[in-house]
Amino acid sequence: MTTPLRLRAGLVSLVLLAAFLGIWHLATRSTAPVTTMSPEYAKLMGLTATQGKSAMPGPLDVGAKLWEHLKRPFYDNGPNDKGLGIQLGYSIARVGAGYLLAVLVAIPLGFLIGMSPLLSKALDPFIQVLKPISPLAWMPLALYTIKDSSVSAIFVIFICSIWPMLLNTVFGVASVRKEWINVARTLEVGTVRRAFTVILPAAAPTILTGMRISIGIAWLVIVAAEMLVGGTGIGYFVWNEWNNLSITNVIIAILLIGIVGMLLDQILARFTRMVTFPE
Amino acid sequence: MTDKFISIEGIAKRYPGAGGATTTIFENLWLSMARGEFACVIGHSGCGKTTVLNILAGLDAPSEGAVIVDGQAISGTSLDRAVIFQSHALLPWRTVLGNVAYAVSSKWRSWDRAKVRAHAQKFIDLVGLSGAEHKRPSELSGGMKQRVGIARALSITPKMMLMDEPFSALDALTRGTLQDEVRRICLETGQTAFMITHDVDEAIYLADKIFLMTNGPGAVLAEVVENPLPRDRGRTDLHRHPLYYALRNHIIDFLVTRSKTFTTERPDHDPRNAPTVQIGKPGLTIASTGEEPRQTWMPGTSPGLSA
């Protein structure tokens, strides 16, 4: 009767997963009638026509393929056949580079804008116009000026993750409680020390929230960006497997993108908890 | 007023109002305090009490006039003038010790950690918070938070303490104990204190001098009431003193009626020399101009009266 909520929720999750996998399995079972045709023609038509097998893989196919990938995550058989670990590694490295650059620009700039009403007002129209631009719209401009597809992808990540961080930093810094600032003022604390000992800790939860939104957006955008620039990365892998008509691999990639995205979010959530203070 | 430790000289605060007009919160405000004196300011909301305190603290600047502390005109904030904020204003991400140590290390920047901690600990002990050093403000009750605020203000050994309704957010019991603490500490350390309050009894208990301000906008200092009660007064038997009700009634009458009409009734009021009222000493009452019977009141005629 008194099973903990967590346990019950876990059970429901497992039931839902089993139901989903079961329906998926039933829906992709071979049901179509097998037609007889000449072997030459059958080769052209593929398995769907000859054996009545659905082109959509079932959970068992995906599971078997996933196990294969997990056994050899880092193999490298040339440009079109690399292990999933390598592809994810490229994507994470690009997101990491673009995101870190954005942190280095957004947080100091956000501090300046947040502390200066003049800058805040002066830069506002620029930020308002630049913020809603889809990061992929920058891609042609980046490719033309940077002339390197990989660096262009990093630039796209930079430009998409800078806005939530910048706006949250500005908001966090500008809305630090007046009384905390007054405490620092009555103690004759200088501007730099005040920024680090009062404003930064007070604004940290808001800044971290912006950083968490940014990492989510960056991970969303990297897939699309890599589909465009090609070469390496999980986004390229998805598009390449689509061209290979390997729906199994596409499904595996989708699953992994979701898991990595969740892990990135969890890491930032943990940092946010570390700087949050109860009032 | 021979030893003017603090002298507020003709300050005013004006804000630009609608249509090019200016709104005057208060003007031509003159008041002075001697070293070691405890002064309370009483007046209705909007008379600019908090602004006066902020100007004294250096957090705000007057539109006119100057403030002289210890022979020097002030400009900006100073570690000589500690502020106890109404909302305690503790930094929630620091512990009790961290909050006090922040003030200590701001005053003595060359001190090492151990010295800062030892000094901060001394003041945490003084306000009776020993054992709670490593708690965060969110784990403390309202009264304990304000004790930390007091410890932080005292830890920088200021020349004066500025308090903006420090106990107004506390329950009556906690308020009483903290009033005792503040009075004890101020008497022991000879601290000069300037406090804003709405609580008449608090002013009577704590203050040597009570400044009465008229209603804003355009508020002025109406009277300086000298507290006739003995210096060793106790909070519990305060109301038994023969002059207690006279003093209390004088202040409450002022707040209820005279604060509104003062400026129109007294066109000859000289804000530079606001009259000093000495309850119970009718012969010495400067403000007594005949039409105010309460200042010629004699002890014992209206005991038990309460406002």
pLDDT of residue B290: 40
Instruction: Report the pLDDT averaged over residues A87-94.
Output: 95
Quote the CA–CA distance of B25 and B269 in Å, as a whole number.
Answer: 18
pLDDT of residue B301: 44
Residue A37 neighbours by CB distance under 10 Å: 13
- Would you state the CATH architecture of domain A84-275? Orthogonal Bundle (1.10)
Nearest CA-CA distance, residue A189 and chain B, Å: 6
Q: Which of A21-35, A80-94, A217-231, B9-23 comes out lowest in average pLDDT? A: A21-35
Instruction: Report the pLDDT averaged over residues B205-213.
Output: 91
Domain ranges of chain A: 84-275
Question: Residue B304: pLDDT above 60?
Answer: no
Burial B197-225 (b: 16+ CB within 10 A, else e): bebbbbbbbbbbbbbbbbbbbbbbbbbbb
Question: Residue B286: pLDDT above 50?
Answer: no
Nearest CA-CA distance, residue A201 and chain B, Å: 7
Nearest CA-CA distance, residue B223 and chain A, Å: 30
> Is the ipTM value over 0.85, yes or no?
no
Partner-chain contact A189 B106, CB within 8 Å: yes
Instruction: Report the pLDDT averaged over residues A78-106.
Output: 93
Mutation for B interface: A182, A185, A186, most B CBs within 10 A:
A186
Nearest CA-CA distance, residue A100 and chain B, Å: 26
Question: Residue B291: pLDDT above 70?
Answer: no
Q: Which of A191-200, B117-126, B224-233 comes out lowest in average pLDDT? A: B224-233
Partner-chain contact A188 B138, CB within 8 Å: no
Partner-chain contact A185 B81, CB within 8 Å: no
Question: Residue A165: pLDDT above 60?
Answer: yes
Q: Three-state DSSP class for B73? A: strand
Which chain B residues contact residue A202 at CB under 8 A?
91, 93
Q: Which of A51-60, A166-175, B45-54 has the highest mean pLDDT?
A: A166-175
Partner-chain contact B91 A182, CB within 8 Å: no
User: Does A1 or B293 have the greater pLDDT score?
Assistant: A1
Q: What are the φ and ψ backbone dihedral angles of B14, each rounded to 5 degrees?
A: -125, 145
Which chain B residues contact residue A197 at CB under 8 A?
102
Residue B142 has, within 13 A of its CA and on its CB side, a CA count of: 14
Provide the chain A residues 199-238 that lie in CB contact (below 8 A) with chain B: 201-202
Q: Which of A81-90, A103-112, A264-273, B285-294 comes out lowest in average pLDDT? A: B285-294
Question: Residue B209: pLDDT above 50?
Answer: yes
CB within 8 A of A164, min separation 6: which ones? Answer: A210, A211, A213, A214, A217
Which chain B residues contact residue A183 at CB under 8 A?
85, 89, 91
- For the stretch B74-116, pLDDT in tens is 888 999 899 999 888 999 999 999 999 999 999 999 999 999 9
Beta strands B6-16 and B64-69: pairing type?
antiparallel
